[in-house]
Structure 1
């Protein structure tokens, strides 16, 4: 997860990570466990300079990645995430449970926000974007989160491992290599970073619902917001 600027080891960043991990561990009780998403301030976002004009920033772009098929209901949930962020990894099964619960109703959108302090966050995002160019974004998204314990929080480049993931997913490796090396792939990731910063994203995961950034205290806050948005439709 993003490293907090405070030197207090029990600061909000650590608390958020531990609460997300507890949330993921509880399994069937996931929807009633406290979700620590409110402590988003103080994250290191120096990799994402605010080069995007806030006045033109949009929560969803035409090229934003949708998990699965768009929902029919009036609810679009957007997550700015870092694949190396432990909080994002712990939140992953919660998001998957929401996708199952609201299948066909809610549109789930993912946007990149790799944190500079995470040595392989950008590599992972580039791997996901390269996979997206072969229509395999969701598959790589899942692979990166489900293997995060293998490669996260390590200083050496895990790009070769991500290439192995691409091979395991059956991607055309020649095309994958070209796309990873293509400067426009990283530019695509950094465009999300810059826009997230312009939108007020300070840490990961950060969620928006129908264009509004959510300040969440509990999982019920998120499901209640989604239900309200669907009811308005």
Structure 2
């Protein structure tokens, strides 16, 4: 990503975060939050995009594939992953916002792909195409299925995974744990277990640098 594009990205992200925060504050906090003592930032079944070993800095992102702020930060995240390759472990967890018609549907597609070891491929496809389906009021499950076909997935297994209640429970487990950890909007990052408030485009990189120095 070129430097001159970053202010635009952050402007878009800031606007989207304002919308997401207001929406989630209204819809998510109405429910009783789970016990924080039972929550963990990373689980054994969490999706790891980069694994740099036991001594690496661990970055966890709670995301919604339909969230405009997540889409705006996606190239920033990819730059960070490339810059700190071999130094950070990057983990992704689901946090589908209630106000997005396809947030859960897209997460189900990603989880169905994960059943075939192709989570990262679907992760990239969903963010790369977000402008084509984001904010749609109707289900775009058919489009996500086309992505699975394009990726060469076993479609019998994919369809079965999407329909499997356990797939939905897996997505909602991340969401519930995110709420227990204090996640209220997306993207929300944790660096070595510490929650990070994003105010500037380089806050994630700054937090990683600080963690590497500890």
Q: Structure 1-normalised TM-score?
A: 0.81
Question: What SS does structure 2 have at the residue aligned with 1:155?
Answer: coil
DSSP-derived class of the 1:109 partner: strand
Give the one of 44, 60, 63 matched to 2:24: 44
1:160 aligns with 2:142: yes
Distance of 1:87 and 1:38 partners within structure 2 = 6
Q: Contact between 1:78 and 1:209, CA under 8 Å: does it hold in 2?
A: yes
1:9-43 Cα shifts (integer Å, max 9, x gaps):
xxxxxxxxxxxxxxxxx733567886749867433
Residue of 17, 27, 44 corresponding to 2:2: 27
Unmatched segments (≥5 aa) in structure 2: none
Corresponding residue number in structure 2 for 1:199 = 181
Is 1:93–2:78 an aligned residue pair? Answer: no
Aligned length: 207
**Higher normalized helix content (fraction of residues):** 2
List per-residue Cα deviations over 1:126-168 (Å, max 9, x = no partner).
0000000100000000000000111111111100110110011
C-alpha contact 1:38 1:217 (8 A) present in aligned 2: no
Task: Report if aligned partners of 1:31, 1:220 keep a CA contact under 8 Å in 2.
Answer: no
TM-score by length of 2: 0.88
Residue 42 (structure 2) pairs with residue 60 (structure 1)? yes
Q: Which runs of 5+ in 1 are unaligned?
A: 1-25
Following the alignment from structure 1 to structure 2, what is the Cα–Cα distance between the partners of residues 68 and 30?
25
Task: Provide the C-alpha distance between the structure 2 equivalents of 1:220 and 1:159, rounded to a whole number of angstroms.
Answer: 34
SS in 2 for 1:67: strand
* Cα distance, 1:225 vs structure 2: 1.4
- Any conservation in 1 of the 2:17–2:186 contact (CA below 8 Å)? no
CA deviations on 1:207-233 (whole Å, 9 max, x unpaired) are 11111111232233322211121122x
Cα distance in structure 1, aligned partners of 2:17 and 2:68: 16
Q: How far apart, CA to CA, are the structure 2 residues paired with 1:199 and 1:138?
A: 24
Residue 169 of structure 1 deviates from its aligned partner by 0.5
1:76–1:107 Cα contact (<8 Å) kept: yes
Distance change (3 Å), C-alpha of 1:99 and 1:155: same
